[in-house]
Amino acid sequence: MAILGKDMTFGLFFLNSVAPWKTDAEELRDGLEQIKVADQLGFHSAWIAEHNARAYGVVSSTSVYLAAAAAQTSNIMLGSAVSRLPLHHPLQVAEDMALVDIISDGRLYLGVGKGYDALEFEAYNIDFDERHEKYLESLDILTTALRNNRVTYSGKFYDIKDIPVYPRPVHPEGPPIFVMVSGNDASMVNAAKQGHSFVLGGITNEDTNHKIELYKKTALESGLTQEYVDNAVARSGKLLFCHVAETTEQAQYEYRKGLEWYMSERDNRPTFGVVDREHHIDYERFLNSENTLVGSPEKVIEDIERYKKDTGLNNVILWMNIGGQPQQQVLNSMTLFSEKVMPHFLNSKNLVR
């Protein structure tokens, strides 16, 4: 459920990076435990990234990991962030995600993207330069498959003739689809035309406002109702770095090691405006970024209030476990956030799926 009105929802983002001090198995098991605890603490959603051939992200299939998470949780929404559509057959994505939707009893948020890392495409012998066209075709087929019992489609990459799609998702309209958006306005325009929600990352609050207004204008001009658009935006949110400790000094100290290792591993693009092309990070600049929530509960509350005022968004997706943070440290941050930050933003019970 997403919350309309003045309430806020808080999700968690999982990249599952294998830092030198952790094994693959430790990181993946820690992530599943964090999702289980997040469900108990009242977090709204958990979002799983998908990568291959990179130590900074070792979940190669969001559907497999989400199914494991679904089996051990009861309330938390479970999202892919993202399923890289050009790397998979869209009918198989629809089938796999419908399975997750059923296992979770309708708690799936389906985040999709085109992928940005040439190495990941090379590993699977898939043409990186065709990813945009292939993504658009795949998203059309995926959307059709989740909303209809059969699919017929003819395009450049796929030729599908009246194929039945099983299993069917819990809700007839299928799970909500989210498009991940960073710098490109075109992604926001496409999401609006198709009525998909969005998750923002790596952009300023000023650009956030621009993209939200662009989304609303485009969606309404495309014939979607005001109620539909309001609900789509109400589900949408932004990805922010987050760590909470008893004091701001402690939080800043604890978060640094994992963050700096992760930034050193990301050799394909800058992140969130705090890393340059030469992979240099200014930690003080990072801490002062409007995309960063690192500090005491009191400081984090103030920062979220500012975020809400500046963007109008009611949802935040928190990146707590970045770069293989120690497990107990992450669980402590989650607990403090749940007990001391979250209640400040929960006032009503006006819910929408």
- Over residues 154-172, mean pLDDT: 98
Helices (H), the chain: 24-41, 62-71, 90-103, 118-123, 131-147, 185-194, 205-221, 226-235, 248-265, 283-287, 297-311, 327-336
pLDDT by residue (tens digit) across 109-146?
999 999 999 999 999 999 999 999 999 999 999 999 99
Contact by Cβ (8 Å): 235, 198: no
Q: Quick one: pLDDT at residue 265?
A: 83
Q: Residue 346: which pLDDT band, with cuts at 50, 70 and 90?
A: confident
Strands (E) in 228-332, as ranges, are 237-244, 292-295, 315-319
Domain total in the chain: 1
- Over residues 155-170, mean pLDDT: 98
Q: Share the mean pLDDT of the chain.
A: 93
Q: Kindly report the CATH number assigned to the domain that includes residue 41.
A: 3.20.20.30
Q: Which domain holds residue 127?
A: 2-352
- Over residues 220-228, mean pLDDT: 97
Q: Quick one: pLDDT at residue 281?
A: 79
Q: What one-character-per-residue DSSP string does 67-78 give?
A: HHHHHT-SS-EE
Q: State what percent of residues in the chain have pLDDT above 70.
A: 92
Q: Quick one: pLDDT at residue 269?
A: 56
With a cut of 50, say whether residue 157 has pLDDT above it. yes
With a cut of 90, say whether residue 57 has pLDDT above it. yes
Q: Write the single-letter amino acid at 237.
A: G
Q: Residue 274: which pLDDT band, with cuts at 50, 70 and 90?
A: low
pLDDT by residue (tens digit) across 91-108?
999 999 999 999 999 999
Mean pLDDT lowest among 67-76, 173-182, 275-284: 275-284
pLDDT by residue (tens digit) across 324-345?
999 999 999 999 999 999 999 9
Question: What are the backbone dihedrals phi and psi of residue 292, each rounded to the nearest 5 degrees, phi first?
Answer: -120, 130
Q: Among 30, 45, 58, which Cα is nearest to 104's?
A: 45
Q: Write the single-letter amino acid at 131.
A: R
CA distance linking residue 198 with residue 181, whole number of Å: 7
Q: Quick one: pLDDT at residue 4?
A: 41
pLDDT by residue (tens digit) across 280-304?
778 999 999 999 999 999 999 999 9
With a cut of 70, say whether residue 203 has pLDDT above it. yes
With a cut of 80, say whether residue 18 has pLDDT above it. yes
- Over residues 220-226, mean pLDDT: 97
Q: Quick one: pLDDT at residue 68?
A: 98
CA distance linking residue 18 with residue 36, whole number of Å: 20
